[in-house]
């Protein structure tokens, strides 16, 4: 990409991505993805990757070490 095509995302705390994708028409790509601005999609992907690393560490698919308390999953508390 030759340069940044937009000056702001319009979202507080979310800077414009300097090189979000190799496609020259960022607006066309945002329209095609239809999930918000590319900066938002990048942030979501980073969050999902972070969660994936945590899930590997937590191993939620394994059985509990000890049985959960009787009313732990009852709603409302």
Q: Which pLDDT score, from 0 to 100, does residue 24 have?
A: 79
pTM value > 0.95 = no
**pLDDT per 10-residue tile (average), the chain, 77 residues:** 69 87 85 93 96 96 90 78
Give the dihedral sign, CA 11/14/17/21.
Answer: negative
Q: Please tell me the distance from the alpha carbon of residue 50 to that of residue 36, in angstroms, as a whole number.
A: 20
> Residue 20 has what pLDDT?
79
- Residue 2 has a pLDDT of 46
Distance CA 25, CA 31 (A): 10
**Who's near 23: CB < 8 A, 6+ residues apart?**
29
């Amino acid at each position: 990409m030759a340069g940044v095509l937009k000056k702001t995302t319009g979202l507080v705390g979310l800077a414009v991505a300097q090189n979000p994708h190799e496609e020259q028409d960022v607006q066309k790509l945002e329209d095609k993805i239809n999930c918000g601005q590319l900066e938002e999609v990048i942030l979501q992907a980073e969050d999902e990757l972070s969660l994936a690393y945590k899930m590997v560490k937590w191993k939620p698919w394994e059985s509990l070490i000890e049985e959960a308390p009787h009313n732990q999953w009852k709603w409302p508390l």
